[in-house]
Structure 1
Amino acid sequence: MNYHIIWGTKYRNKVLSDDIEDSLKRMLLHIAEEYGFSIVHMEIGLDNHIHLLVSAPPKLSVTNIVRWLKGISARLLLQEYPELKKAYWKTSDRHLWSSSYFVESIGTTNQDAIAKYIDDQRRKEIDFDETQRR
């Protein structure tokens, strides 16, 4: 099964840049390998959300895949980058990710189109952001 998955940071805080972006991508690939699925394409958009193209065996539910990716990556990122805690004002019950997410299943005929869309996210969203500032 192939899925296009998107989720964002809580409060849409723009914290997914530079070293944090690199660490997040590395962590997500490691989580996928550990749990038996693969991330075919991945890109951060506007430093506050992530697009993934995930390929998984049918025995794995997409709900569990998202739970693993969001839960483990949030815990690891907050440990590795304590400065992220400043973006989230509560002293307890901090959450890096918004509780919601988007997922759609992808057929093999649409996989290339979705992969290109994900790969183009950074450039398109930066271009759009710059247009909005003018």
Structure 2
Amino acid sequence: MTRQVRTFPGAAYNLGYHVVWCPKYRRPVLGGRVKGRFGELICAKADERGRQVVAFEVMSDQVRLFVRPRPKNSPSYVASRFTGFASHRLRAEFAHLRSQLPTLWSRSSFVATVGAVSADTVRRYIETQYERLPKGGGARA
């Protein structure tokens, strides 16, 4: 994937979050029409908030989402916006979800940041910062 630097007032950024969440008790309730409608809801919510959905997969008992949010949104905030919106809409449209589960989603989720460089590359960059300063320039902290 090529580097996509996006801009926001006061910032240039390249953020990506890998978010995974499951239905309550990991019940396989995300199939058939629910799966199709859920995909529509994810895309609608992303468009509404200026987030870019790079990829997502809906399995019967879990959801995997790769999204590029704005820099002011934390990973947990992004995950909660998608789960809350989808839960409200799906439970309103599909009565069997209300009767089978007390809530649609488990309270836990997995979120990882996805970037253009590895953690090791960033560490080396910071550790060698002074080695790259131009001769006679740059102040040390």
Letter in 2 for 1:34: E
1:75 alignment partner, one of 56, 66, 88 = 88
User: Would you tell me which structure has more helix in proportion to its own residues?
Assistant: 1
Identical columns (%): 28
Question: What is aligned with 1:86?
Answer: 99
Is residue 13–residue 87 contact of structure 1 (8 Å, CA) maintained in 2? no
Find the residue that maps to 2:108 and give its secondary structure. coil
Equivalent position to 1:39, from 53, 72, 82: 53
Q: Is 1:6–1:49's contact at 8 Å kept on the other side of the alignment?
A: yes
Q: Considering only aligned residues, what root-mean-square deviation do their CA atoms show, in Å?
A: 1.3
Deviation at 1:21, TM superposition (A): 0.3
Q: Could you tell me how far 1:40 is from its partner in structure 2?
A: 0.8
TM-score, normalised with respect to structure 1: 0.73
Q: Give the equivalent residue in structure 2 for 1:91.
A: none
CA distance in 2, matches of 1:77, 1:109: 37
2:108 pairs with 1:95: no
Q: Kindly indicate whether residue 2 of structure 2 is the aligned counterpart of residue 2 of structure 1.
A: no
In the TM superposition, what whole-angstrom CA distance separates every residue of 1:37-83 from its partner, at most 9, and x where no partner exists?
A: 121101023x0100000111211222211111000100000001011
8 Å Cα contact 1:27-1:73 kept in structure 2: yes
1:27 aligns with 2:35: no
Give the structure with the larger strand fraction: 2
Structure 1: unaligned runs, 5 residues or longer = 89-93, 111-134
Question: Can you give the 5+ residue segments of structure 2 that lack an aligned partner in the other structure?
Answer: 1-14, 119-141
Alpha carbons 2:76, 2:111 under 8 Å: kept: no
- Return closer, same or farther for 1:77/1:106 CA change in 2, 3 Å cut-off: same
Look at both structures and tell me which one has the larger radius of gyration over its CA atoms: 2
Structure 1 runs of 4+ with >4 Å offset = none
Q: Is the 8 A contact 1:44 1:51 kept in 2?
A: yes
The normalised TM-score by structure 2 is 0.70
Kindly tell me the number of residue pairs found equivalent between the two proteins. Answer: 104
